[in-house]
Amino acid sequence: MKKYFQKIDFTLPPVDMSRIKTDRVTEGYGTQFRSYEIADKEYFTDVYSKRIKFNVPPDIVNYTCITDNGATPHVDQVKAVINYYINPGHCVTAFWEPKDPNYTPSKMLQLQSDGSWKESAIVEYEMNQLRLASYLRALPNEAYVLSTQDIHSVIKPQISTTREFFRWMWFDLTIDEVLENITLINN
């Protein structure tokens, strides 16, 4: 069976979110998906490095929020991530497979630093062209390694909730390589 995700035994100590949150968007899609630069990177690295070590450091680390209707089915530019859920918002991360292997998805628009939008390398899929393959519902303070090279989405049960999480991302490592890459330190 194909591996889309795997839960890991990784728990962060309390994080001072006033040292994390900024208004500097590093990634944005639609009105609902925003990733932000971490304000005090040295502080955050010090916090998480006491609980997890990487043989190959992540290419990107950020703080992400998903609002409104969630995230439509898509594939990321990175191959794999570790998501650490601060507030999972009772959301479901669903993984999908195309019904037709010849189906061609459309490109997503990506928010630029100047506030404009341009076509992205990331594609978005129509739900009626997909079949559900697997899913997970994270709880607060849980961490999962996800294969983001596979089609996935975030389904929100309530529009008013906000899903908040930290992401460690690798452009070139698969889910299995990320799992081999980490050493968990349980204090």
Residue 1 has pLDDT above 90, yes or no: no
Domain spanning 5-184: CATH 2.60.120: yes
Q: What pLDDT does 131 receive? A: 96
CA distance 184 to 89: 26
The model's pTM is: 0.89
What kind and span of H or E run contains 181? helix 175-181
Residue 157's pLDDT band (cuts 50, 70, 90): confident
Q: For residue 129, how far is the Cα from the chain centroid? A: 23
Residue 112 has pLDDT above 90, yes or no: no
* Nearest of 92, 70, 105 to residue 5 by alpha carbon: 92
Structure confidence by residue, pLDDT tens digits, 17-53: 999 998 888 777 767 788 889 999 999 999 999 999 9
Q: What pLDDT does 187 receive? A: 57
User: Please, what is the end-to-end C-alpha distance for the chain in angstroms?
Assistant: 33
CA distance 31 to 28: 8
Q: What pLDDT does 47 receive? A: 96
154 in Cβ contact with 91 (< 8 Å): yes
